[in-house]
């Protein structure tokens, strides 16, 4: 099935990145959000990020103009009805996502593929609340979307092969690489990455090493581009905690127990870069470890 028009629901961090990469790849994009302010900010962010790519010689100025012209915004979810593919990238709350799909379904063409960019909610459960579980998939982009190469394709229990192949081809056209995952908590990347970050927090909690020695050990000893605590601050400690909770509850194994120190940082509102404090304090010239 050929995809031409793409609807993106949610114009936050991920939604604007998704709109950006689809528009640059030649798709017509209709971006929606409940907040007019988010839509305005998203367009400004997309322009700023494409400018950066132009400055680096990765995108031609003419392609920038064409891409920006391909992105339209609307506050009405129903306007997405004629899209061939919908990517839901709204707030990570199951009731929010369910309501979006319920409101969308009556307006859709029978052939429209529905997807969610969720990091942790069951694709099978979201799909079961729609009229087309066979044409429903997890479409998990990584943050920041214009930079990260991988897209996880997640099959719900009912997803059909044609839907999977259509999305696989879309990922190829975006110039990215797809990995295929079954629908279990955390999919592949977060199932492996988050327990590693959680273990780094336990290592700190038990006094095995300081923030600096833990990050340096993984950077120089395992060739990771960022240390695990630095990476946790980048992702957001609230996000890390919520994914650990999903793994813990969904897989019912104590090995996924979130570290109490991670919980404490989140309770303090020290959520990482976005609040200027996490395992590092970002308020000065250079990040300073907080432990």
Question: Which residues of this chain interact with ligand NAD, rule CB under 6 A?
Answer: 9-15, 32-35, 38, 89-92, 96, 100, 117-119, 140-141, 143, 235
Decide: 6 and 83 in contact? Cβ < 8 Å. Answer: yes
* Beta strands across the sheet bearing 177-182: 71-74, 28-32, 5-9, 85-88, 113-116, 136-141, 150-155, 177-182
User: Is residue 140 flagged as an active site residue?
Assistant: yes
Strand partners, 281: 277, 288
Q: How far is the CB of 164 from ligand NAD (least distance, A)?
A: 19
Which residue in the shown chain puts its C-beta closest to ligand NAD?
Answer: 12
User: Is residue 152 flagged as an active site residue?
Assistant: yes
CA angle 168, 121, 71 (to 5 degrees): 55
Catalytic: which of 152, 181, 198, 230?
Answer: 152
CA angle 229, 234, 238 (to 5 degrees): 85
Q: How far is the CB of 272 from ligand NAD (least distance, A)?
A: 11
User: Is residue 199 flagged as an active site residue?
Assistant: no
Backbone angles phi, psi at 108, to 5 degrees: -85, 155
Catalytic: which of 49, 119, 120, 181?
Answer: 119
Give 9 or 262: the residue with its C-beta nearer to ligand NAD.
9
Q: How far is the CB of 15 from ligand NAD (least distance, A)?
A: 6
Q: Does residue 262 sit in helix, strand or coil? A: helix
Q: What is the DSSP string of 3-27?
A: --EEEEE--SHHHHHHHHHHHHTT-
User: Is residue 119 flagged as an active site residue?
Assistant: yes
Catalytic: which of 88, 92, 117, 140?
Answer: 140
Q: How far is the CB of 113 from ligand NAD (least distance, A)?
A: 17
* Alpha carbons 264 and 269: distance in angstroms, whole number: 9
Q: How far is the CB of 13 from ligand NAD (least distance, A)?
A: 4
Give 92 or 215: the residue with its C-beta nearer to ligand NAD.
92
- State the catalytic residues: 119, 140, 152, 190
């Amino acid at each position: 099935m050929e995809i031409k028009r793409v609807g993106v629901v949610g114009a936050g961090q991920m939604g604007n990145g998704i709109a950006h990469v689809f528009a640059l790849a030649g798709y017509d994009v209709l971006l929606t959000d409940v907040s007019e302010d988010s839509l305005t900010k998203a367009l400004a962010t997309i322009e700023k990020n494409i400018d950066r790519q132009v400055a680096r010689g990765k995108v031609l100025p003419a392609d920038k103009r064409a891409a920006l012209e391909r992105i339209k915004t609307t506050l009405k979810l129903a306007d997405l009805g004629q899209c061939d593919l919908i990517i839901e990238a709204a707030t990570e709350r199951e009731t929010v996502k369910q309501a979006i799909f319920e409101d969308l379904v009556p307006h859709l063409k029978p052939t429209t593929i529905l997807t969610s960019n969720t990091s942790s909610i069951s694709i099978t459960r979201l799909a079961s609340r729609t009229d087309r579980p066979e044409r429903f998939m997890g479409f998990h982009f990584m943050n920041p979307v214009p930079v990260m190469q991988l897209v996880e394709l997640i099959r719900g229990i009912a997803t059909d092969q044609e839907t999977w192949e259509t999305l696989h081809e879309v990922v190829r056209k975006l110039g990215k690489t797809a990995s295929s995952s079954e629908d279990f908590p955390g999919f592949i990347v977060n199932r492996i990455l988050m327990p590693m970050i959680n273990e780094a927090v336990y290592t700190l909690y038990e006094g095995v090493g300081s923030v600096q020695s833990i990050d340096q050990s993984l950077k120089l000893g395992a060739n990771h581009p960022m240390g695990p605590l630095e990476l946790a601050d980048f992702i957001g400690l609230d996000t890390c905690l919520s994914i650990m909770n999903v793994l813990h509850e969904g897989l019912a194994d104590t090995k996924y127990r979130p570290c109490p120190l991670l919980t404490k940082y989140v309770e303090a509102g020290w959520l990482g870069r976005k609040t200027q404090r996490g395992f590092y304090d970002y308020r000065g010239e250079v990040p300073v470890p907080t432990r």
